[in-house]
Structure 1
């Protein structure tokens, strides 16, 4: 059976066509959306879990040969951690967050792995590692969806951003699509196609149009923001060839995760010493503090967890007039709680969609630690990424050579009144409509699957 698969930066979802349009499948308990996160009791066990799920045959033999070293390390990890052969060792979605929050020092946790797929300069072993992470997640999601549906899923359309990375975009796109294709085939899909996420969101929105319109689709996802100018409506709907209807599209690796990171850096890292005075009178260097919260940057995370950073922070604590706040950062690093910190920033961003202020409580770091954040402080914190998002909108309109009749906004971060106001300011007096902020892309991918897999 065919399906649309939104392997998103923040959430994953899967849909299948039915007589009412699109049916979303349960992929995380009884929920239709699964947070994009994975937790394994040991990093090496991810590869082992992928191999166990592959059916016997040439593909499995090839995988085992290519991962021989990692599979040997997995056996060693089982012995060192006294993990039984039948013990569950890997979790995705809400379960992954649950295990990470319960014991962040133990195991391996990754959030939003899609953010890393287009990273420049990845060595082959890192490409293989991300293949295994994505495959492990896709295998689990597919199995859950098939149980919910009661049928096998074999042909899929997967969403993709316009660009996975801002720099070296073509090379990054090829690398990311190759990883996703390999993972999808290892998960059991025989046919794999891709569709731009903003176009998919537009195809979903198009189902409700009663007259033809030129629509600017603005999809603010977790990892990327993508815009597309599309002619749509009754005269266009259902056509298998839509290239003439797509008038312009732009996209870049700036999205909801960047807003969370900026908010964490500007409003939470001062609690960990980022603005504390040094004995020398010089300003506090901020790079390490920003590395701590840059959870979508492989290089930053590697630097923050390195031995050199550990030694640097010990010296920084001696040099600081408030050594106790640097001590908090050292504990955060030692306890591997920086992902948890950014998660709290994300929750604050969401709360500020409906309130003028919110309280962030960080008892997991230190009892009584916390701060109040105002919506105006969120606006100041995210000014830089938000400016880039509005520039992408203007560039898509410029490519099209015409103004839109409507603006359709989707994606989780698009709920924020700050973002909606910025969208309205950019294009002036154009009607702005909302869709399903989380389901538009997967619904559109499913509609496209229905059309191309006839």
Structure 2
């Protein structure tokens, strides 16, 4: 059996073909979408769990070395790993929100796969991390459809996050491929995520159209300009229908990060000053929120930064704010802050005001935001997405007949208005914002594996 597999930055989902139509499979609590999260007692628990409870061996000598180190580290910490110790999806998120300081938690590992300068052990760890998540999702999908799954088409962005250009893309795709094979998939193909979304939209067409697909996912925004319609449907060679692609690292996570930075970080020192008259260093307020930037996370939560934060506490004119920032450091609260911003973003798409709170060690911190605050906070990512739309149109040399917007952030009225301003006379349509890519991947899997 084959599936379409959206290993997404925010959520994962899979679909198979049933009676000629894609059907998403339930992965958690009657839901089709499993948050791309993992929680474990320690970082080293990931590799040991994969070997001990998934019976998945390391792929090479470097992987074996990583496993030996991980098992030795857990023994030294007195950790006797149990099968229930690794949590995935919503269960992992809930555990992190309840006990952020007591575990290893990762969200959106796809964001790190294209990072340059990683040493061999880091690459093997990311492979293990993706593999254990894929193995878990494969098992859930097989339980849902009561069939064994052997083959998959996996979605990928036009450009993975990373500074290495095509080198980043090749590294990330190689990690995904190796992890998928180790997780039990025999045949693995890749398809661009906006093309997959376009294939799902194409199934509804009765005539030829030029379609601009704008896929605003959790980690990237990707645009594809495509010729689509009945004459292209089920064609194995679609190269002549692909007129242009554009894509970069700006997605739902970036919207949440920018909103958290502008609206939440003033409570933690943004805009406050030191005794010298200088403002608080920007990186100390940005890095804890940059959950899609491995180097920023390592820099903020590194031991060396603790001394810098303590020095800032002594020099701050508003030390109570820096004390909160120290609490972010000690309790690894960056994900929690971005989560609060994500909740605000969703709410402000429907209501003009939003109020929330966050429990810290000695206080209940209150937040209040308005729709206009969100608009201002999202100005930078909005401009980046607008540029990608314009780039795809310029490359393709033609104006589309329709714009098909999809992805979790495609519902944002701010972003929809931005796209509409680029193409004011072109209809803007939507489908299943979260499931179009997955459904299109299943359609392409039928073309590849039938």
What is the TM-score with the length of structure 1 in the denominator?
0.96
Task: Give the drift of 1:212.
Answer: 1.1
Whether 2:229 is the aligned partner of 1:233: answer yes
Task: Give the drift of 1:24.
Answer: 0.8
Larger mean CA deviation between 444-453 and 87-96 belongs to 87-96
Once the two structures are superposed, what CA deviation does each residue of 1:98-150 show, in whole Å capped at 9, x if it has no partner? Answer: 22112111121000000000011111111111101100100000001001111
Whether 2:305 is the aligned partner of 1:309: answer yes
Find the counterpart in structure 1 of residue 17 from structure 2. 17
2: CA distance between counterparts of 1:318 and 1:219?
Answer: 46
Find the counterpart in structure 2 of residue 109 from structure 1. 105
CA-atom RMSD in angstroms: 1.6
2: CA distance between counterparts of 1:88 and 1:228?
Answer: 42
Choose the corresponding residue for 1:192, options 185, 188, 192: 188
Once the two structures are superposed, what CA deviation does each residue of 1:300-350 show, in whole Å capped at 9, x if it has no partner? Answer: 000101122111111111111111110011011101111111111111111
Find the counterpart in structure 2 of residue 130 from structure 1. 126
Confirm or deny: 8 A CA contact 1:142 1:153 kept in the other structure: yes
2: CA distance between counterparts of 1:300 and 1:366?
Answer: 27
Find the counterpart in structure 2 of residue 262 from structure 1. 258
Whether 2:281 is the aligned partner of 1:282: answer no
Please list every run of 5 or more consecutive structure 2 residues that lacks an aligned counterpart in the other structure.
none
Larger mean CA deviation between 373-382 and 144-153 belongs to 373-382
Task: Give the drift of 1:377.
Answer: 1.2
Find the counterpart in structure 1 of residue 342 from structure 2. 346
1: CA distance between counterparts of 2:112 and 2:165?
Answer: 13
Find the counterpart in structure 1 of residue 212 from structure 2. 216
Confirm or deny: 8 A CA contact 1:293 1:342 kept in the other structure: yes
Once the two structures are superposed, what CA deviation does each residue of 1:380-431 show, in whole Å capped at 9, x if it has no partner? Answer: 1111111111111111111111100000000011101011000100111100
Whether 2:324 is the aligned partner of 1:328: answer yes
Whether 2:289 is the aligned partner of 1:293: answer yes
Task: Give the drift of 1:80.
Answer: 2.7
Whether 2:3 is the aligned partner of 1:3: answer yes
What is the TM-score with the length of structure 2 in the denominator?
0.97
Find the counterpart in structure 2 of residue 37 from structure 1. 37
Structure 1 runs of 4+ off > 6 angstroms?
none
Choose the corresponding residue for 1:68, options 65, 68, 77: 65
Confirm or deny: 8 A CA contact 1:51 1:64 kept in the other structure: no
Aligned pairs for 1:147-158 within 5 A? 147-158=143-154
SS in 1 for 2:367: strand
SS in 1 for 2:288: helix
Please list every run of 5 or more consecutive structure 1 residues that lacks an aligned counterpart in the other structure.
none
1: CA distance between counterparts of 2:348 and 2:412?
Answer: 7
SS in 1 for 2:281: coil
SS in 1 for 2:359: coil
1: CA distance between counterparts of 2:370 and 2:296?
Answer: 28
Task: Give the drift of 1:81.
Answer: 4.1
Confirm or deny: 8 A CA contact 1:54 1:186 kept in the other structure: no
2: CA distance between counterparts of 1:61 and 1:326?
Answer: 44
Whether 2:406 is the aligned partner of 1:437: answer no
